[in-house]
A and B are shown apart, each in its own frame.
Chain A
Amino acid sequence: MTRRSLFVVLLLWTPAGLGAQEPQNATLREALNAYDNLDFARAGTLAKRALTERLSGPDQARTYELLGFTYSATDSQAKAVDAFKQAILLDPDRQLDANKVSPKITSLFYSALGQVLVVRQLQVDSARFVAGQGGVPLRYTVTSPARVRVRAINGPTALLVDSTVVTGAVNLRWPAQLPSGAPVPEGAWLIVVEATAGQNSFSVSRAVRITYGAVDTLLPLTSLPGYQELPETEIPPQSWRPLGLSLLFVAGTVAGTFALNNGDLGSAPGSELAGVSVATLATGLVMTLRRPAPRPAEANILYNRLLREQLAQRNADIAKENAKRRQQVALTVVPLPKSEGTR
């Protein structure tokens, strides 16, 4: 590949972020223009000159990054790595878009990343949970093996969240509890991640605000979902039973009367027996023809009783749970704007 074509490739793969924000320093702006015009020697010279001037933090990191790009373009790899290291130390969360930056520059950037000790991309997620039953998700990345201590600080109170030797991405959950088990006090808390390896150390912090809230209580149930009470009475089907029973009783009486009748006294008496028998049969017929009265549906009554017992049990459980929840505290954790890392 010729030097000219390499320049074209590097230009095409220049990170968009390099010129995305207008720098405050005029020399840096001039250096970026020179880089955009493929004048890498002039870009490097101007970038070095800018470093001698008064620069804001972001401009300083951007200047080192530009130097890294420039050295990469001029095949000064060791210098490029050094420049990227400075940029990373100034802005640990700095990232290159692998889809827009050439693999050569990206590999040099990651080489620099492996040679410094920083804690990158510290993230504290918003969370709402019941104290003692959840935690605040924390994530960070350590670029080199180091002992990392994570603390939560609020005024004179400093709580150790984690202390371990790690490298790479780490996920933690902070229960937001004091050693006594009580929830941490309301207010602004600082999550500090300190990495130490030999003489090198790096720390980064993120502020969060913790507020108290009431824990949601459960509403009592008026019915069990999917179940409903059944009617406790039912209309029995029309039946000839009343007439049959009256016939049976009358027949028994008539048979008994005729069987007991003494033949010496003549035929059995009829009018008294007939009158009462007719009244009984008429009553049986009326009871047969009339609409049956509702009768208790035992199975449904038992089912409803079971259902009410279950409902009462569930509501008792809910009441117990609500009593417990009223004594609990819901913690709401919201990250505050990001703070700068320190070396």
Chain B
Amino acid sequence: MLAGVWVTAWPASAAAQQGSIGPDLVVGEYREATSSMRYRGIGPGATGSFTFHRVTVDGTFASVQMDPISGSQATESFKATSIDAWLRWDALDYLGFEVGLIKRATDSEFAAQSVGAVRAGARTHTLLGPGAAVWLRGDYLAGAQFSGGGSAPLAVEIGLGLDIRWSKRFRAAAQYSFQRLDRKTNPAGGPEVSVPIEQSLARVGLAVGF
């Protein structure tokens, strides 16, 4: 089984200082340029999280082997390795503001774009019951840079997460994220061309708290 590490950030009010780490499984879909360029893949991930009072640092890692789906005009597979980081301040018990980084690299520049950007947004969370919490995130991805050049005046990300605390040490989590980057480029100095990119990832896994 492809395994990774995934760390979930528990609501900051749960304790003054805590962290967690754990493996998970990542599945994703990647689309670029047109609806016929679609990839789907699976791979391991890794995340680290640490909370100190109202400040939380989250980081995730994923390495997903993307393969063209049936019917796609894409012909070449690629491996997408992504690192995401968030620094969040919980202003309220249910709302936090965050900034962070995104870095996604591909092993085939011809198949997909590598991208890097900074993010800023907010995250709201609430308890569903004893040991269960759900959160919703919305970030703007600013200053996106692509391996093939161009820029993305509109680049956003939305995410949904579920954290379940089985015991004091062990937790389970599920997370969904959707990124849209409206990349625009003008190859060879010609007219500007729109080359949009979308990626959705879902991950499930376990985490160990400390």
Interface on A for B, CB 8 Å cutoff? 242, 245-246, 249-250, 252-253, 256-257, 260-262, 264-266, 268-269, 271-273, 275-277, 279-280, 283-284, 286-288, 290, 292-293
Contact = CB atoms under 8 A, between A and B. Distances in A.
B136 A249 contact: yes
B132 A265 contact: no
24 contacts: A249-B134, A252-B136, A253-B158, A257-B200, A260-B178, A260-B180, A262-B182, A265-B34, A266-B31, A269-B178, A271-B27, A272-B27, A272-B29, A272-B200, A273-B200, A275-B202, A276-B161, A276-B162, A279-B162, A280-B162, A287-B129, A287-B132, A292-B129, A293-B130
A264 B134 contact: no
Interface in B7-60: 27-29, 31-35, 38
- The 3 A-B pairs at the shortest CB distance, nearest first, are namely A287-B129, A266-B35, A272-B202
A112 to B, nearest CB: 98
Nearest to A244: B128
A275 B176 CA distance: 9
Interface residues of B, number: 38
Interface in B169-197: 174-176, 178, 180, 182, 194, 196
B4 to A, nearest CB: 16
A284 B128 contact: yes
B128 to A, nearest CB: 4
B198 A269 contact: yes
A253 B182 CA distance: 20
Contacts of A265: 31-35, 196, 198
B75 interface: no
Among B32, B161, B194, B200, chain A packs the most CB atoms within 10 A around the CB of B200
B34 A264 contact: yes
Given A249-B136, A261-B180, A276-B174, A266 B156 contact: no
A262 B176 contact: no
B199 to A, nearest CB: 9
Nearest to A276: B176
A279 B174 contact: yes
B164 A253 contact: no
A273 B158 CA distance: 11
Nearest to B30: A269
Given A242-B129, A250-B160, A253-B136, A277 B176 contact: yes
Contacts of A269: 29, 31, 178, 198, 200
A106 B105 CA distance: 132
Given A273-B176, A276-B160, 9 more contacts: A253-B136, A261-B180, A262-B180, A269-B29, A269-B198, A272-B202, A279-B204, A280-B174, A288-B129
A150 B125 CA distance: 89
- Residue from A253, A266, A273 whose CB has the most chain B CB atoms within 10 Å: A253
B138 interface: yes
Nearest to B126: A245
B175 A276 contact: yes
A280 B134 contact: yes
A261 B198 contact: yes
A185 B138 CA distance: 90
Most chain A CB within 10 A, of B38, B132, B160, B194, is at B160
Contact of A246 (B35, B128, B164, B200): B128
Contacts of B201: 272
A253 B159 CA distance: 7
Contacts of B29: 269, 271-272
B158 A293 contact: no
A242 B162 CA distance: 12
A242 B128 contact: yes
Contacts of B198: 261-262, 265, 269
B134 to A, nearest CB: 5
Contacts of A275: 27, 174, 176, 202, 204
A288 B196 CA distance: 41
A260 B162 CA distance: 21
Most central of B27, B34, B129 by chain A CB within 10 Å: B129
B178 A257 contact: yes
